[in-house]
Amino acid sequence: MGYAVRIESAEVVITSPGRNFVTLRIVTEDGVTGLGDATLNGRELAVASYLRDHVVPLLLNRDASRIEDTWQYLYRGAYWRRGPVTMAAIAAVDTALWDIKAKAAGMPLYQLLGGASRTGALAYGHASGRDVPELLDSIRAHLERGYRAIRVQTGVPGLASVYGVASASAGGGERYDYEPARRGSGPRVLPAEESWDTRAYLRHVPTVFEAVRQEFGPELPLLHDGHHRMTPIQAARLGKALEPYDLFWLEDATPGEDQAALRLIRQHTTTPLAIGEVFNHVHDYTTLLSERLIDYVRSAVTHTGGVTAMRKLLDLAAVYGIKSGIHGPTDISPVGMAAALHLDLAVHNFGIQEYMPHTADTLEVFRTSFRFEEGLLHPSDTPGLGVELDTEAAGRFPYQPAYLPVNRLADGTVHDW
């Protein structure tokens, strides 16, 4: 039986239950609602304006079932292609339309994507500490919560705070466990500025992994994020130094836009490499995939054009034996997280899924059905994405300006993070 129904309305919802989220809510003429995540951390209002002013007027009265055609219409018709703002907006539309189609079919989305390839998606959690003892405690806590794979981040001696470390404080002094953009305080919100020392970091990190392996043994999958802070030769040095500790991956070792850097890193180390959370299009990956310069694709569904584009990207990666590692921090809303989980369950070349539980306030706004059990995530068998938006609750959490931090070297130079 065919399904063709017109889009009756499309609404952009901005809410901030602890951090800012942008959600597109599409309603068809027969009352079916679809949700798409359009959150771009620290630049949320740019995507909201793109949707409201340029995309929503184009959606009204379009056939909600024509997902591929709508994707191409929005991408090719704009002339100005790619970029995080454009691709996040298109992703929101695409994901919402897939939500609608799956609800109309009475199936969870993963069934429309070919059905389950596994019982659940292996998830990794974020353990961190200002020093090694605090880190080890954090790893224990994550293991107790059921995680089977752990990302390891620590403070660096001599640095007051390090992005990605839970106990670092900023703004009003709040504890930032999950790397949100920082709200700051006062009438004018500016990005926090952190000092950085790459040489100190390179000396320290191998000793951290030595301590973790001594405490938890060789079997636990361990991951580490370099947050783009290294030059190619520095990243090669770190990858080589970490080889004895058998990392699951070293992520974002160098700035993502310099793809040639991965060739140099690959020449010097066998530590698996992951990159892509700042990418937003398959063309960002073509060299990395065809030359097998990475082992895991790290894009988010939210920032890479939605379910349609992400599925194509992962299918291309599969040709080269490269696996998924979809971006999943808490600046991806539960809507974006659910979309990732449906793909995780369906694609053949799944690797691992980043998972950071959202706050109670966030889960009051976004009513979720996906579950985390014994280290695995499952999107649930609820028709569609399995997430509903409580618009009344969303209205209780107004937008607040917030920004990711800026890194500076000792001489004051702005540095990659």
Q: What CA dihedral angle connects 227, 233, 236 and 240, to 10 degrees? A: -120
**180: number of Cβ within 10 Å:** 20
Rounded CA gap, 263 and 177, in Å?
A: 34
pLDDT value of position 41: 93
**Terminal alpha carbon distance of the chain:** 51
Q: Give residue 37's identity as a one-letter amino acid code.
A: D
CA dist 239 to 267, 270, 398, Å?
11, 7, 43
Q: Give residue 345's identity as a one-letter amino acid code.
A: L
User: What percentage of the chain exceeds 90 in pLDDT?
Assistant: 83
169 vs 104, more confident: 104
Catalytic choice (126, 224, 227, 327): 227
pLDDT value of position 164: 80
Using the structure block, give the residue that is written with the tokens 């951290």: 208
pLDDT value of position 168: 45
Question: Hey, which residues does 387 pair with through a beta bridge?
Answer: 368
What's the mean pLDDT in 302-312?
98
Checking if the pLDDT of 198 tops 80, the result is: yes
What's the mean pLDDT in 163-190?
62
pLDDT value of position 169: 44
pLDDT value of position 3: 57
**48: number of Cβ within 10 Å:** 25
Identify the band that residue 173 occupies on the pLDDT scale cut at 50, 70 and 90.
very low
Catalytic choice (50, 147, 163, 176): 163
Task: Verify whether residue 227 is a known catalytic residue.
Answer: yes
pLDDT tens string 236-247: 999 999 999 999
**134: number of Cβ within 10 Å:** 16
Q: What is the mean pLDDT of the chain?
A: 93
Maximum distance among all Cα pairs of the chain, rounded to whole angstroms: 66
pLDDT tens string 126-140: 999 999 999 999 999
Rounded CA gap, 15 and 366, in Å?
A: 10
pLDDT value of position 7: 98
